[in-house]
Amino acid sequence: MKKIEIVQGLLAANNATASGNRALLDRHRCLAVNIMSAPGAGKTSVVLRTIAGLGGSVRTGVIEGDVASTVDAEKVQDAARAVVQINTKGMPESCALVADMVDAALRRMPLDRLDIVLIENVGNLICPSEFDLGEHLKVVIASTPEGDDKPLKYPLIFADADAVIINKLDLLPYVDFDMDRFTHAVRDLNARAPFFPLSCKTGEGVAEWVAWLRDRMHNA
């Protein structure tokens, strides 16, 4: 039982840190969004489209989580008001962000001058579902080339999502992806999350996602 006890102790400690993160964000009236997906589904592209869609009046910070590299932070640094890159390589958890990492990142951000923090999690459909980061919203991105069976194989991350983005709609004519099969599979796990089919390449559908997110900011 030793390992299980330690794991539960770690998760309890993570939840406490996550609650602290959420309280810190709330004090600054800053909405935090945990963006999760498989590698290459388009998290960074969604972040860039979201910042552009929200417009200059919404001040956006970004936390970039990756095992290694600063590729994503470099891509968003011109668009965001503040960017912190977290590299998880060599950390006890390398397959997901945990609340401690986000705590450290938030302390390096000018929260009193930000309205929203987009947290781009490590590319992974499994580990990120286990760790509360202190976010207000969990968003999962699926992309059409991955296939429509991902909710069956990675149920937890879809069950807990507050919104599901289906990216790379522009590739739909070239791949085997049945939108009805995908949305039904998610609905079996999650009765409430809205779907946002979109293409970061063409911009199709981005406005609907951004409008929904803007509503969440006003209701926060």
Number of residues that bind a second copy (CB under 8 A): 41
Question: Which strands sit side by side in the sheet containing 82-87, from one edge to the other?
Answer: 82-87, 60-66, 116-120, 31-37, 137-143, 163-167, 195-197
Whole-angstrom distance, CA of residue 191 vs CA of residue 202? 29
* Residue 147, Cβ density class (10 Å: 0-12 exposed, 13-18 middle, ≥19 buried): middle
| Residue nearer to a second copy on the CB measure, 30 or 36 | 36
x/- site string to a second copy, residues 100 to 139, per CB under 8 A?
----------------------xxxxxx------------
Of 122, 74, 81, 116, which Cα lies nearest the Cα of 101? 122
Check binding of 39 to a second copy (CB under 8 A): yes
| Residue nearer to a second copy on the CB measure, 100 or 115 | 100
Residue 42 in 3-state DSSP? coil
Check binding of 14 to a second copy (CB under 8 A): no
Whole-angstrom distance, CA of residue 126 vs CA of residue 37? 9
Determine how many CB atoms are found less than 10 A away from the CB of residue 212: 15
Min dist. Cβ of residue 75 to a second copy (A): 10
Burial 83-113, CB ≥16 within 10 A → b, else e:
bbbbbbeeeebebbbbbbbbbebbeebebee
x/- site string to a second copy, residues 141 to 160, per CB under 8 A?
--x-xxx-xx-xxxxx----
Span interacting with a second copy, options 12-20, 89-97, 107-115, 190-198, rule CB under 8 A: 89-97
Which of 24, 52, 79, 95 lies at the binding interface for a second copy (CB under 8 A)?
95
Whole-angstrom distance, CA of residue 18 vs CA of residue 8? 15
Min dist. Cβ of residue 163 to a second copy (A): 19
Check binding of 205 to a second copy (CB under 8 A): no
Which of 24, 52, 67, 217 lies at the binding interface for a second copy (CB under 8 A)?
67
C-alpha distances in Å from residue 149, one per residue of 133, 144, 145, 176, 208: 27, 10, 11, 11, 24
Min dist. Cβ of residue 30 to a second copy (A): 27
Min dist. Cβ of residue 2 to a second copy (A): 7
Binding site for a second copy (CB under 8 A): 2-4, 6-7, 10, 38-40, 66-69, 71-72, 89, 92, 94-95, 122-127, 143, 145-147, 149-150, 152-156, 168, 170-171, 174-175
